[in-house]
C-alpha cells in the first residue's frame, strides 16, 4: 500500500476494510485516525472504533476449566444445554462402563473398549467448548465488521462528492 507523506491515499479505505476483516482493529484504528485527519472529517466520524474498549471476545478458559472438572459444565456455562446434557451423559455412561467392567474383572473390556470411548467423550467435550467459543467469536467479529465497514464506505463516499 503506497501512502503519501500523511500516511493516507485514495485506497486507504479499502485497506481499512481489509484490516477490519482480519480483526486487526488496533492497526485499523491508527490508520483511520490518519484518514480522518487527512480529510478533516467531522468529530462524529472520528470515533467509530470506540467499541474496542467494550468488545469482549470469549477466551473460554473458564468454560474449558469447567468442562475438565465436570464434563458438560462448560457447555452449560456457554448456554448450550443440549450439548451439556449429551457430553455429561455419554461421559458418565462410558465412565460407569469402565469402572463396572474393571470391578467385575473384565479388564480387557474395561481398558480395551470402555476407556477409549470414555476418553473420546471426555476430551470431545473440551473440543466442543473450543468450537462453540470460536463460532461465537466469529459471529461477533462479523457483526462488528459489518457495521464498521458500512460506516467507512459511507464516509468514503461523502469524501468523493
State percent of the chain over pLDDT 70. Answer: 93
CB 112 within 8 A of CB 59: no
Q: What is the mean pLDDT of residues 40-52?
A: 79
Q: What digits encode the pLDDT tens for the residues 93-149?
A: 888 888 888 888 888 888 888 888 888 888 888 888 989 998 998 998 899 889 888
pLDDT at residue 1 greater than cutoff 60: no
pLDDT at residue 82 greater than cutoff 90: yes
pLDDT at residue 81 greater than cutoff 90: yes
pLDDT at residue 23 greater than cutoff 80: yes
**Full DSSP string of 73-134:** HHHHHTT-HHHHHHHHHHHHHHHHHHHHHHHTT-HHIIIIIIHHHHHHHHHHHHHHHHHHHH
Amino acid at each position: 500500500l503506497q501512502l503519501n507523506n500523511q500516511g493516507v491515499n485514495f485506497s486507504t479505505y479499502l485497506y481499512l476494510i481489509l484490516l477490519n476483516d482480519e480483526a486487526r482493529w488496533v492497526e485499523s484504528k491508527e490508520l483511520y485516525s490518519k484518514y480522518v485527519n487527512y480529510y478533516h472529517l467531522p468529530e462524529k466520524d472520528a470515533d467509530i472504533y470506540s467499541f474496542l474498549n467494550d468488545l469482549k471476545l470469549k477466551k473460554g478458559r473458564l468454560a474449558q476449566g469447567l468442562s475438565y472438572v465436570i464434563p458438560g459444565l462448560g457447555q452449560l456455562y456457554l448456554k448450550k444445554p443440549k450439548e451439556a446434557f449429551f457430553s455429561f451423559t455419554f461421559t458418565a455412561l462410558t465412565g460407569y462402563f469402565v469402572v463396572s467392567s474393571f470391578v467385575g474383572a473384565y479388564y480387557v473390556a474395561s481398558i480395551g473398549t470402555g476407556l477409549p470411548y470414555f476418553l473420546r467423550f471426555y476430551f470431545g467435550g473440551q473440543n466442543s467448548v473450543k468450537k462453540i467459543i470460536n463460532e461465537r467469536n466469529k459471529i461477533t467479529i462479523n457483526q462488528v465488521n459489518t457495521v464498521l465497514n458500512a460506516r467507512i464506505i459511507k464516509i468514503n463516499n461523502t469524501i468523493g462528492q
